[in-house]
Amino acid sequence: MSLQRISLKFVGPSGQGINTVGKIFSKTLKSSGFHIFATREYPSLIKGGVASYQIDFAYSPINSSSKLVDLVCSLDKDSLLNNIDSTKENSIVILNSENTEEDHFSEYSKKKNLTLLTLNAQKIASENGGIEIMGNTVLLGLLARILSLKSNVVYEQLLENFKSKKIDTEAEKKCLEAGYNSPLFRPEYTNLLKVEKGLNILNKSPKFLTTGNDALALGAIGCGVRAFYGYPMTPATSIFKYLGETSKETGILVKQAENEITAVQMTMGSMAMGARSFTATSGGGFDLMVETISCSGISENPLVIVLAQRAGAGTGLPTWSGAGDLTSAVKAGHGEFPRAVLAVSDINSCYTLIQKAFNIAEKYQIPVVLLTEKVIAESLFSTDSLPKNIALERGLTQGTSRYGITDNGVSNRWLPESNKKTFLMNSDEHMESGWSTENAEEATRMVSKRMNKIMALKKEIPEPQYFGNINAKTIVIGWGSTKNTMIDLLKYNKEIGYLHYEYMFPLKTDFLKNLLRKNDKEVVLVENNFEGQLGKLITEETGINFSKKLLKYDGRTLTVDDITEFLNN
């Protein structure tokens, strides 16, 4: 059984407007009554190589990409050849090319029964008073006609996208209409894609589109963040960009540091002074922040770091997705100290978990790492609204000593102010007063005190969330973006269940152990990394081993087809 959706992919040379046309068409589909999920892939080059922008859309909520697409729109032949194997049988392919022959694609076209439509979009744009880049508008027009969308809706989105630029709006309109009225169009193309005519009769189209990074930035604004320090690194950079572009309205200080070490230390310093602050980076930048994480742990100074994962190691696949940094987030740092690790999955969790990260960091006075992934960070999700803000918990209580011994390990914390008692904040081992010590008994007491925070925090955080049939014989376990794919899969497969982890450390396992008490359960671990890193953490905690694993680590995300094929084998 297939999902009730249509998948469209724009492909072309990087730097030729693929991202722009993808965003414009995504907004057109949203305005036409569709829910969408859109993601882009691009090489780590300023210009050159092949980029793509895939949009999956349906009349009900949609959370992930399809493995194969119904329609490809290619700006040139090389890009089409690079993506031709991603087409379904009976797909439609639109190729921008002067050559109308199908020689390059005849074998593949026959194999999958493709319909190839070839046109010279730049020439058509020129004939209609436009410039070369407006060939993309011609292609948008033809796509709109095939998908039974109204051309004026596309035009409105074109105007909105280019409102800050000087463009010939009349030429844009003529180019759009030229594509819309192209003689290449046949009514049977619409039937081939099974496109329903008209808008969503239930009138429940989503209200807006946003990316994971933008939702995360909005969540930070919503919980009182006052400063952001960063050094640009894909795929975390757009958090930096969003906060910078809105800083006049929010009053948030946004500063680019000379490197990630400076960024994280400025973050910790601002948190010490009482200003909610955070930094965001990816794998290589996170490595540079590790010493400061240890410093935060022993000095009991709150710290929040967003770690936007991509495929590593080293520079790895710098513009592709992955989820291989869980072990690093949980284990990074010298010595032993308490920490928390959380992982987002979609725009709702991006908005909420950044707020929860700050509450945990301040209440327990520990470093918190919030994991996201490129596919979450940069993809477009459609939604009606974001969650409500959660209540702020700052944990500010003035006491007699900064590092006083307590049952739960959390000492009094107050802010440096002229009218309050001063205190020492120390990254050497110290006594309750904050003065340094190398005494064995004092060191033992303070290490034990700090580590008690883990048990206190573990009592507070929730168990993993279960989706689907609670009596299912097959249970999939995952985290991060895996949830989005599984939610789509569960819409039509009622025979499986899914256990999703957001709070990665400390790890809660009681629900999992109760779930697996019946011996007839088949447990499948699904992760976007080679080692099955969540599985390893679960094994450490419980002794449960996973014999059946679907692990994907090629920089591409898991699709419903990937999981279905694996479960059926």
**pLDDT of 260:** 98
Cβ 538 vs Cβ 330: under 8 Å: no
CA distances from 99 to 6, 77, 118, 142, 404 (A): 28, 10, 8, 18, 78
- Per-residue pLDDT tens for 172-205? 999 999 999 999 999 988 877 775 544 444 456 7
Question: Which residues have C-beta within 8 Å of that of residue 509, sequence separation ≥ 6?
Answer: 538, 541, 542
For residue 112, pLDDT beyond 90: no
Q: In terms of DSSP bridges, do strands 35-41 and 380-383 run parallel, antiparallel, or are they unpaired?
A: antiparallel
Q: Which of 8-17, 266-275, 513-522 has the lowest mean pLDDT?
A: 513-522
Position 103 confidence tier, pLDDT thresholds 50, 70, 90: low
Q: Give the three-class secondary structure for 506.
A: coil
Q: Please give the helix or strand (H or E) that residue 91 lies within, else none.
A: strand 87-96
Give the mean model confidence (pLDDT) for residues 54-76: 94
Q: Give the three-class secondary structure for 51.
A: strand
**pLDDT of 198:** 43
Position 461 confidence tier, pLDDT thresholds 50, 70, 90: very high
**pLDDT of 193:** 78
- Per-residue pLDDT tens for 412-442? 999 888 777 788 889 999 999 999 999 999 9
Closest CA to 262 of 245, 241, 275, 281: 281
Cβ 486 vs Cβ 467: under 8 Å: yes
- Rounded to whole angstroms, the Cα distance separating 80 from 84 reads 6
Position 1 confidence tier, pLDDT thresholds 50, 70, 90: very low
Show the tokens assigned to 304.
């929040």
Closest CA to 499 of 531, 463, 541: 463
Q: Is the peptide bond before 13 cis (omega within 30 degrees of 0)?
A: no
Cβ 504 vs Cβ 371: under 8 Å: yes
Q: SS3 for 236-303, per residue? A: CHHHHHHHHHCHHHHCCEEEECCCHHHHHHHHHHHHHCCCCEEEEECHHHHHHHHHHHHHHHHHCCCE
- Percentage of the chain with pLDDT > 90? 81
Q: What domains appear along the chain, each with residue ranges and CATH number? A: 6-206 (3.40.920.10), 214-383 (3.40.50.970), 465-568 (3.40.50.920)
Q: In terms of DSSP bridges, do strands 496-501 and 465-468 run parallel, antiparallel, or are they unpaired?
A: antiparallel
Tell me the torsion sign for CA atoms 266, 269, 271, 274. negative
**pLDDT of 519:** 73
More confident residue, 195 or 247: 247
- Rounded to whole angstroms, the Cα distance separating 234 from 221 reads 21
**pLDDT of 271:** 97
- Per-residue pLDDT tens for 206-218? 889 999 999 999 9
For residue 286, pLDDT beyond 90: yes
CA distances from 244 to 213, 238, 250, 276 (A): 13, 9, 10, 16
Q: Give the three-class secondary structure for 388.
A: coil
Q: Which of 162-176, 394-408, 411-425, 473-487 has the lowest mean pLDDT?
A: 411-425
For residue 167, pLDDT beyond 80: yes
Average pLDDT, the chain: 93
- Rounded to whole angstroms, the Cα distance separating 7 from 237 reads 28
Cβ 549 vs Cβ 523: under 8 Å: no
